[in-house]
Structure 1
Amino acid sequence: MTEPAIALIDCNSFYCSCERVFRPDLNGKPIVVLSNNDGCIISRSEEAKKLNIAMGAPYFQVREQLRRQQVATFSSNYALYGDMSARVMQVIESVVPQIEVYSIDEAFADLGGLPEPLQQLGDHLKQTVLRCTGIPVSVGIAPTKTLAKLANYAAKRWQERTGGVLDIRPQPLREKVLRKLPVDCVWGIGPRLAPQLLALGIRTAWDLAQSDRQLLRKRFGVVVEKTASELAGIGCLQMDEPASARQSICCSRMFNRPQNSLKALQEAVASYTHQAAIRLRAQGSLCRQLQLNLRPRQIDGHRGGWSAACPLPYPSNDVRELSDTAQHLLQAIYRQDQSYSKAEVLLLDLCQPGEFSDDLFLPRQSNASQKTMQVLDQINARWGRDTLRPARVPQQAEWNMRREMISPSYTTRIDQLLTVKAE
């Protein structure tokens, strides 16, 4: 029986790499990307890491350091990053037969049955993604998911020797890598469990792979036991099937500052409902219930916030119907004497067309409504996000997240396409 072969393809400093694709002048220069409202650092290029800029550092604390060391700083541009991620995953799917998208910048791939040597396939995969998208990736290949994660980590850590691709299926090489890597590098262990494992003399990934499984299960539970088995080459985590449609959809954002204006909240709720409806239609679902949450400032006495939910008159994916319901809920829970830091729109009790029985005495979503939503999505897909949008959704809003250093949406807005000027 052929030994399984699983690859983990991980984009290097993904958010920073996305910014570099359209700013080649930043190649070789330090870059950081900030979280929502320009709060803290969530992505660093290798050059920024060498400057000892800490991950998660609050921006206001390191602003002067970044300026002094000439670090290019960007606000998060999730529309750009999401689109670039989709392009990377599409390229990976064109090379390998099956992938499991693990996160926005990572994917597992099943390489079982493909011709050897898989090291060459990993090199080809890396070069293809870079050529087609401009995003550099690292590839780790192993018989289990946990080992593939570790192989990818080693490929990045020893970039000069591995070239960013490492196959640790051969037992001698696998043992060498596991003996060199500390236990806190293992997927699922991290800094929380590492001290407890160190107290048992488990210092490296190799030590964990050789540990008593029953003792691990008794002390730490089944997850750590499975992790040790995976490190020993015994597969416990299977490749997932393609993800099924979500059963709920949530869209929420922190405001750039607390809001108590009803007009601002109406705009925000309309905007979030619009975005949630786009995701709903993208997976071909209908919504049967909508919930709205308002979160107060932390300094206010009411910490839990206010919430209201309402069933729709019929299952729908029409943003107009959803938005009307959300606005009615807002009117019900809004308090003029409160300041709100966040609003959340949740689409609940989702179903697929044909999975429910119509009520003979209630209306249903009309064919005209469905066609209108199809045209809306087609126009936005062709001409850019929010080319058409509900009238309640403003183009620019004062309550939007603070993103003072955001880059253009090069791939999702036609008015922000990259232009090249001849000299």
Structure 2
Amino acid sequence: MYGIVDCNSFYASCERAFKPNLIGKPIVVLSNNDGCVIARSKEAKPYVKMGAVAFKNKNDFKKYGIHVFSSNYTLYGDMSSRVMSIISKYVDDIEPYSIDEAFFKLKNVSGKEAELIGKQIKDDVMQHLGLPVSVGIAASKALAKLANNIVKKYPEQTQNVYVIGTDEQRIKALKWTRIGDVWGIGRRLATKLKEMNVDKAYEFTLLSDELVRNKFSVVGLRLKRDLEGKPTIGFEEVHDKYMIATTRSFPNVVSDLKEIEERVATFANSCAEKLRKQKSECSAAYVFLKSNRFGKDYVKLGAMVHFGFATSSSITITKGVLEKLREIFKVGYTYKKAGVILVSIKPNASHQTRLFGDENPKHQLLMRTMDTLNDKMGQGKLKLANQDIKRTWKMRQEHLSPQYTTRLSDIITINCK
């Protein structure tokens, strides 16, 4: 059997886990630089739309007593890792699907046994992390996702765990589910199916295999069979990233090239560190600059950088990116955002040394030393010379909560009397 664990209102729940006085109160979490709303608790949904611009909704936050938090990705990432660790104790295989969701597989268990395991996972996550989760279990991944939707709709009746264990339950669930709510059915596909008078998931399963394959390719056919209770969508292997990007908006608009160079150098170095962490190298990068899109003179500049060989050296990557940045930079504009994207990525184990035009082999030793020292001393302690050593660039995070689980100084102190 397959299952999925979905953390309810994950970002808000992470904040509540360390501030239980916020349970039942509306919470929103903001994007980088406190730009817009990217997460809401159910209590905040009637008052704030997803994507709402933060500064335009300050009065509504205050009016409805909404608690506002800046994105604390260090905390959320660590809590996610702990959730995955707990799930792994109970299942035969696990596939993290997002920061707050994971599919799992159970072998040789009955529906009742699967339900018991689901309840154990739910209780364990709540006991050790204080995070509420929903668990859906069925014969396939698509049906497990559907079971999870039922839990979200009826949390009290299901006690946050639901198993589609019989064909009768499967058909009932399919007849209840609108086609647009099926996992894997996008907006365009849902529109096409509705034009064919397919409004419910059950009606989709009644279509012939040949019709589904011809109209919606083999991907649609796999989904249909999954909904029929024939597991066809398997677990995906975890692959290294084929693109690595670091992009940020500046706290204020910037027009000085030197200031932008320092920022872009930091982005390039960050990308190179991620590249080395997954034991890969790249042969090209894309660098871009954008002005404020809401300003009068909007401009977007960008260009590819080709290194001529595969590399993971911060020195090589940063040098090439800065040279290209100087080429595309235009005087007379104020810029709000910049970024670096590494492309043409492959494993470093397949590196082919070039007789002419390869980089200095000493770079590899230097990068290993830098990474080792930064791991021990803290990220960003060692920098390249084109980064400002005294200046630490930070995102606007006026509502940032402590990093309770990863920073010693932020650990909660309990006064026991």
Q: Is the TM-score greater than 0.5?
A: yes
* Matched residue SS, 1:73: strand
CA contact (8 A) 1:385 1:413 kept: no
Whole-Å separation in 1 of the counterparts to 2:60 and 2:251: 24
Whole-Å separation in 2 of the counterparts to 1:207 and 1:363: 59
Q: What does residue 239 of structure 1 align with? A: 235
Q: Deviations over 1:144-193 (max 9, x none)?
A: 22111111111122111112111113222222222223333211335555
Whole-Å separation in 2 of the counterparts to 1:171 and 1:379: 57
Whole-Å separation in 2 of the counterparts to 1:136 and 1:48: 17
* Matched residue SS, 1:240: coil
Q: What does residue 162 of structure 1 align with? A: 158
Q: TM-score, normalised by structure 1?
A: 0.85
Residue 357 of structure 1 and its aligned partner are, at CA, apart by 2.3
Q: What does residue 73 of structure 1 align with? A: 68
**Given the alignment, which residue of 38, 41, 44 partners 2:34?**
38
Q: Deviations over 1:84-112 (max 9, x none)?
A: 32332233334323222222221211223
Whole-Å separation in 2 of the counterparts to 1:329 and 1:22: 46
Q: How does 1:115-154 map to 2 (within 5 A)?
A: 117-154=113-150
Whole-Å separation in 2 of the counterparts to 1:248 and 1:199: 37
Q: What does residue 14 of structure 2 align with? A: 18
Q: What does residue 280 of structure 2 align with? A: 285
Q: What does residue 422 of structure 1 align with? A: 415
Q: One-letter code of the match for 2:30?
A: L
* Matched residue SS, 1:189: coil
Structure 2 residue 400 is matched with structure 1 residue 406? yes
**Given the alignment, which residue of 264, 282, 303 partners 1:269?**
264
Whole-Å separation in 2 of the counterparts to 1:153 and 1:384: 41
Q: What does residue 342 of structure 1 align with? A: 337
Structure 2 residue 331 is matched with structure 1 residue 331? no
Whole-Å separation in 2 of the counterparts to 1:221 and 1:165: 33
* Matched residue SS, 1:47: coil
CA-based RMSD: 3.0
CA contact (8 A) 1:251 1:276 kept: yes
- Structure 1 regions of 5+ residues with no counterpart? none
* Matched residue SS, 1:121: helix
Identity of aligned residues (%): 35
> CA 1:195 to 1:327, structure 2 compared with 1: closer, same or farther past 3 Å?
closer
Residue 302 of structure 1 and its aligned partner are, at CA, apart by 6.5
> CA 1:383 to 1:175, structure 2 compared with 1: closer, same or farther past 3 Å?
farther
Whole-Å separation in 2 of the counterparts to 1:11 and 1:335: 46
CA contact (8 A) 1:257 1:341 kept: yes
Q: Deviations over 1:290-316 (max 9, x none)?
A: 33222334356675523141306x543
Q: One-letter code of the match for 1:43?
A: A
Structure 2 residue 249 is matched with structure 1 residue 254? yes
- Structure 2 regions of 5+ residues with no counterpart? none
Structure 2 residue 335 is matched with structure 1 residue 318? no
Whole-Å separation in 1 of the counterparts to 2:231 and 2:313: 44
* Matched residue SS, 1:48: coil
* Matched residue SS, 1:46: coil
Whole-Å separation in 2 of the counterparts to 1:382 and 1:24: 34
CA contact (8 A) 1:383 1:413 kept: no
My pick for the range that moved more, 192-201 or 152-161, is 192-201
CA contact (8 A) 1:384 1:413 kept: no
CA contact (8 A) 1:316 1:365 kept: no
Whole-Å separation in 1 of the counterparts to 2:260 and 2:211: 54
* Matched residue SS, 1:120: helix
CA contact (8 A) 1:267 1:394 kept: no
* Matched residue SS, 1:292: strand
CA contact (8 A) 2:301 2:328 kept: no
Whole-Å separation in 1 of the counterparts to 2:76 and 2:191: 35
> CA 1:168 to 1:188, structure 2 compared with 1: closer, same or farther past 3 Å?
same
Whole-Å separation in 1 of the counterparts to 2:280 and 2:356: 23
CA contact (8 A) 1:308 1:333 kept: no
Residue 212 of structure 1 and its aligned partner are, at CA, apart by 4.3
Residue 276 of structure 1 and its aligned partner are, at CA, apart by 1.0
Q: One-letter code of the match for 1:66?
A: F
Whole-Å separation in 2 of the counterparts to 1:30 and 1:215: 47
Residue 35 of structure 1 and its aligned partner are, at CA, apart by 2.2
Q: What does residue 106 of structure 1 align with? A: 101
* Matched residue SS, 2:43: helix
Q: TM-score, normalised by structure 2?
A: 0.86
Whole-Å separation in 1 of the counterparts to 2:185 and 2:404: 38
